[in-house]
Amino acid sequence: MSFRKFTRLATVAAVFLTAYLLLSQTDLVYVYQGQEWRAWKYTPSSFDWRKRPHTHPVDEATMTRLPEGNPRQLPRIQHKFSKDELSKSHNETQRERREAVRNVAKRSWRAYRDYAWGRDEVAPQTLVGQDTFAGWGATLVDSLDTLWIMGMKKDFGDAVRHVATIDWNNATSWDCSLFETNIRYLGGLLSAYDLSQEKVLLDKAIELGDMLHAAFDTPNHMPANAFHFQTAKEGKLVASGHESSAAVGSLSLEFTRLSQLTGDSKYYHAIDGIKKELERTQDTTSLPGMWPIFINLQNNFFTSGTSFSLGASADSAYEYLSKMHALLGGLDPTYEKLHTKAMATAAKHVLFRPMLPDPAPDVLFPGTVLSNGLIAELSPEVQHLGCFAGGMFALGGRLFADEAHVAIGDRLARGCAWAYAAFPTGVMPETAVLIPCQPTPKEGGRDDKAKSNPKPKDNLAPCPWNETRWSAATGERARTQQLPRGVAGLSSTQYLLRPEAIESVFVLYRLTGAADLLDTAWDMFEAIRKATRTRLAHSAIADVRATGKTAKLDLMESFWIAETLKYFYLIFSEPELINLDDYVFNTEAHPFRLPKPEGESLE
């Protein structure tokens, strides 16, 4: 063999050896039709929860299975946009707006990537990593589907590479919240898998699902939201005697989707037990049709509480009812019944029309109700968290052929948009007090109430602006708290980068095609962008009343990218991007694919 030939062969061998060594240490990369497809290096977690013996096992013979049969043809949810509507609403203006949202997402993600990679959050001013959700990388997992939807595929690939190595047995805390871990981590993995079909994401979702499933290994099979890892491994968890209805009621979508994707009904069986308890108790609470904010899971799902709300600690329990109907393809009629009763009660007692200055918009808000079973008294404190209710009413109204509820949803969504515009920053505060059109019993005493309210109570009826009534309700607070006219008080002046208002505006736009909502959304986005911007990212702010530079709270939770920016991006995108007839969103804005009747394409 000549020296030249030997050298050539040696060079080729060296190249192949180098390639082999590199590929053995990194992800395998294939190129198919111009796109990269990776076989990610999957690292199993160091503890296999599937193999953990159950202290309170479920008999396989009695396990509830996913409903069988061909999914029903559900009513059309998304507005059928005409070519003319699309040309007017999805033009260069909307493309520029969409790109503006994407740029904010890119700079927010870049700050997380550069200063807190693998941590739960980045503090957007001090630029340090923080672990607030067990340290598995909440922002990273929560943002996966946003990265995919926005076309940030390289960032998505980098994130998937990290996800493939997450060890759920290696947390930065002794415990975690079942609720938060479920909606952010499990929901994020399942959604990203539904969109990308990257199998490693499903593998990690199964690992996590098996861990969270252990929360149901309790004496009565009700979940323990305080998920202490060692106690769970020992099978000694117990359900709480004072648990929020949101925590117990917001597991169904994720556990059901996991069962659908794996064919393993154990996850679905676990949450079906909650559904049965919700059904059993719905008509026996002190506000029949709704459940109190807190429930005693230890004592036979005891619902003796007197406070009812669509806000904090209750919100997503109601949101999941209509969405479960959709995810199950309408094969379980129970969820329709639960939703219909709950929304009828909420519309009658929880929603109210506020007294607003002229020109008063036709809007509604959800408050909180105290009920002892005989008297239901409305507290008109509104929460940014409750702004999701517009989308919930509209979606349920369309699913269950109740256009009156679609109209209620529209009024709720526009109510929160009004609250944004009412404050100097153009952003709605965390909590505020309004004045209902319908006077409350505390206003002016019993005689005044009898004179002003001779007819049966109607919380949704309009009323003229009454400066005297507003002044009497606010007193000195109007000046000392710098209250906008129509606002009677502020419980919290903060804005925490929350998504609920734009969520409802997005849903209403997609359901109705009302093009003015695009401008409403843009006004909201511009106000938020300006008020929250830091040097490299965006931060929650201390006071929405600021007229100059806002005080930052150095907080950027994972839902900023996962929810808020995703909804802003989607409303300015083509309606076929995450069509609401093909996907249902969990409460963390993670879209899950809906089952379709045989022969019907998802496209």
> 524-563, pLDDT tens digit by residue?
999 999 999 999 999 999 999 999 999 999 999 999 999 9
> Of 584, 522, 52, 26, nearest to 321 (Cα)?
584
To the query of whether residue 403 is one of the catalytic residues in this protein, the response is no
Nearest to 464 by CA among 347, 354, 351, 350: 354
* Single-letter amino acid code for the residue at 592: F
% of the chain beyond a pLDDT of 90: 87
**172 is known to lie in a ligand binding site:** no
Return the pLDDT at 552: 98
Entry pTM: 0.92
Task: Looking at 61-143, list the stretches that DSSP marks H as alpha helix, in order from N- to C-terminal side.
Answer: 83-89, 92-116, 138-142
Establish whether the linkage from the previous residue to 359 is cis, with ω within 30° of 0. Answer: yes
pLDDT digits (tens, 9 = 90+) for 255-284: 999 999 999 999 999 999 999 999 999 999
- Looking at residues 289-315, what average pLDDT do you find? 97
Contact 419, 382 (CB under 8 A): yes
Q: What is the pLDDT of residue 10?
A: 53
500 among known catalytic residues: yes
Pair 585, 323: CB distance under 8 Å:
yes
Annotated active-site residue 180? The verdict is: yes
Distance CA 537, CA 465 (A): 41
pLDDT at 159 over 50: yes
pLDDT at site 400 = 98
pLDDT at res. 8: 58
**Catalytic site residue 574?**
no
- CB-CB contact of 268 with 259 (8 Å): yes
Q: For residue 40, name the pLDDT band (cuts at 50, 70, 90).
A: confident
Return the pLDDT at 28.
47
Residue of 210, 500, 543, 557 marked active site: 500
Catalytically annotated residue among 142, 410, 430, 503 = 430
The least confident of 76-90, 133-147, 482-496 is: 76-90
Catalytic residue among 142, 315, 563, 588: 315
Question: What phi and psi, each to the nearest 5 degrees, are found at residue 17?
Answer: -65, -45
pLDDT at 32 over 90: no
Q: Which two tokens stand for residue 476?
A: 């000195």
What is the pLDDT averaged over residues 299-318?
Answer: 97
pLDDT band at 174 (very low <50, low <70, confident <90, very high): very high
Question: Which is the catalytic residue, given 180, 217, 254, 557?
Answer: 180
CB 275 within 8 Å of CB 255? no
- Averaged pLDDT of the chain: 92
pLDDT for residue 87? 85
- What is the per-residue pLDDT for 13? 53
User: Which amino acid, residue 111?
Assistant: A
pLDDT at 590 over 60: yes
**Tens digit of pLDDT for each residue in 402-451?**
999 999 999 999 999 999 999 999 999 999 999 999 886 666 444 444 34
